[in-house]
Chain A
């Protein structure tokens, strides 16, 4: 069992006092970020990323930096449940489904049970997903070592086609949003020939658009503007978690083992393909409602209705890191930001990471186990504290969040121009959210645009311009075909529905 050995080595890396301290700091920051409106996993990590530039330069620092940032991610995943259950406001999009049964439970005075169930099932989902990552990622990485440019381009194509095929938003909006991301990624110096593209003589645009600024604007400022429309007051249920409530709930939870396993599977699958945590949580809620004997009571405060979406969301959020570290293709916006972090620290994400940066990879995987344990401890003990943050009035918290976002944008490149860009992206984010343009493909396209393009150009060089190279061997051919099916899936589904209606 080579994996176990590597994992043990990873634990020895992750268990240094500094790294454990960073884990707790990360989780606490993450929960706060997850609870606050306008801050979430993706832009919380984006804001803090520039602060790790210095940290990552020290020996072993890159591992500490990724531990800090990934723990913020876990914390944000946990934090989303708090606001959904207590305030009926999903702090994160993937906790929307948690409000369906979580908030009714809180209204019936069972907030403690709901929170315990949410946190515990989050932990279970994440834990199972980490186990999967531990054993699957070395296999995927080994497999991917044989990848050349055409295979990588096929992977990118598959990733982006999956957005079109699986998104519930209109396909052409997904496409438009994605292409905007690619266009933004193309701005600046062309990495292959050194030509300037789309800069129009502006010196600000020489280095291109930074995805961190885009993430902070789209998700941060955009979210605050959206929250404002709903009015300024938050009214929430009181929360207290005593050891008794926790133990009683834990006694009840094993009853839902089947729901947990189903939700984990849904979550892992949706996390690896870039569907993401949000659809995973909805899908798993739907599946649980259909299969549960109490299915018709869902929505009235069923504990199972909290278990299902939370397990799936965490499983998806965690397994989104699998394609990120093995292939360099993130499965969620937050994973995309983490991937951007790796590139900034000078690590090339992808299969070689498992050979050249063993400490880093296994330290990260070990920290996923430990970080989720740290997260569970923190959230179970500090719920009242986090709930209190939400009671800070919006007119105090909103300007502070905007100031933090502005500082985060500035520190990316020490450019005030980026603060203006953040405002522009904020307005775009607001418009896009209101008009159902999905943001995830936009962010992923900005992050991966250059890589996808250079993979494509290298493939074309290899084949002297023949597109046939994308079908040259069974592996790349299968991936390309799958990508095309997914890309045209909305069209196929529409056609099938028509055929069925005509024949019926």
Chain B
């Protein structure tokens, strides 16, 4: 799917490189700031203060991200290919956005109900399956998960109002 000249790039490589390098740099600054607060010097009895090691980690992080950003800026136009094409980005987002919603849903209604909804949504929307298959697979997965985790390994998973209603909470 990446063949042909007419693919539209959502982002180019240079911008992606710069964005990630900036993220690394920002994290480095955060680490350095907190290390300075904790003290980066020498302390009697304890040796290096708690901020000593992270301080240098943060410093190297910043330097490395500057070099990476510099290398990205030197990228020739010919090498500045699409980081992700529009079509690819759509596909990726069509999974990523539901996954993020799923993580939020787990907080509210527990893992079982949200997993059923998540799998059902995926199969119906992206896979265009018949409803009976959608219901079968999504409910079936939840039941298998319940049996394996709660019954067999005795690991409690997060539950919500629905499970309480059914008396499983």
Binding site for B on A (CB under 8 A): 50-51, 54, 170, 172-173, 175-176, 179-180, 182-183, 186, 190, 192-193, 195, 197-198, 200, 221, 224-225, 228-232, 393, 395-396, 398-400, 402-403, 406-407, 410-411, 414, 416, 419-420, 422-423, 426-427, 430-432, 434-435, 437, 453, 456-458, 460-461, 465
Contact = CB atoms under 8 A, between A and B. Distances in A.
A186 B68 contact: no
Interface residues of B, number: 66
Interface in B77-108: 83-84, 88, 91-92, 95-96, 99-100, 102-103, 106-107
Interface string B145-159: 100010001111110
8 contacts: A170-B68, A179-B61, A186-B31, A192-B47, A197-B35, A411-B157, A457-B52, A460-B47
Contact of B122 (A173, A197, A398, A427): A398
A186 B57 contact: yes
A19 B48 CA distance: 46
B162 interface: no
A230 B60 CA distance: 35
A17 B50 CA distance: 49
A179 B57 contact: yes
Given A172-B64, A198-B30, 17 more contacts: A54-B153, A176-B65, A180-B61, A183-B58, A186-B54, A198-B34, A228-B91, A229-B88, A232-B126, A402-B102, A403-B115, A403-B118, A407-B111, A410-B106, A456-B53, A457-B53, A458-B47
A221 B99 contact: yes
A400 B141 contact: yes
Nearest to A418: B103
A456 B48 CA distance: 9
Contacts of B153: 51, 54
Contacts of A430: 92
Nearest to A195: B50
A19 to B, nearest CB: 18
A403 B141 contact: yes
B158 A416 contact: yes
B53 A175 contact: no
Contacts of A186: 31, 53-54, 57
B38 interface: yes
A227 to B, nearest CB: 10
Nearest to B91: A228
B8 interface: no
B76 interface: no
Given A229-B88, A400-B119, A410-B111, A54 B1 contact: no
B122 A411 contact: no
Contacts of A416: 106-107, 158
Given A172-B71, A399-B119, A193 B145 contact: no
B95 A225 contact: yes
A192 B46 contact: yes
B155 A50 contact: yes
Contacts of B126: 232, 395
The residue in B57, B91, B127 that gathers the most chain A C-beta atoms within 10 A of its C-beta is B57
Contacts of A396: 119, 122-123, 127, 129, 137
A423 B105 CA distance: 13
Contacts of A402: 95, 99, 102, 118
Contacts of A225: 92, 95-96
Q: Is the interface of A mostly helix, strand, loop or mixed?
A: helix
Interface string B106-142: 1100010001001101110011010000000100010
A414 B42 CA distance: 38
B158 A465 contact: no
B123 A395 contact: yes
Nearest to B87: A229
A453 B53 contact: yes
A430 B95 CA distance: 13
Contacts of B155: 50-51, 411
B32 to A, nearest CB: 10
B20 interface: yes
3 smallest beta-carbon distances between A and B, as pairs: A395-B127, A399-B122, A176-B64
A200 B35 CA distance: 12
A461 B100 contact: no
B24 A180 contact: yes
B98 to A, nearest CB: 8
B143 interface: no
Contacts of B129: 395-396
A410 B111 CA distance: 10
Interface string B62-78: 00110110010000000
Contacts of B50: 190, 192-193, 195, 197
A465 B42 contact: yes
A52 to B, nearest CB: 9
Nearest to B154: A54
B103 A224 contact: no
Contacts of B121: 399
Contacts of A426: 96, 99
B20 to A, nearest CB: 6
Contacts of B61: 176, 179-180, 183
Contacts of A461: 46-47
A200 B31 CA distance: 11
B123 A427 contact: no
A458 B119 CA distance: 50
A406 B21 CA distance: 28
A50 to B, nearest CB: 7
Nearest to B65: A176
Given A180-B24, A183-B31, A186-B53, A403 B119 contact: yes
A416 B137 CA distance: 24
A7 B145 CA distance: 38
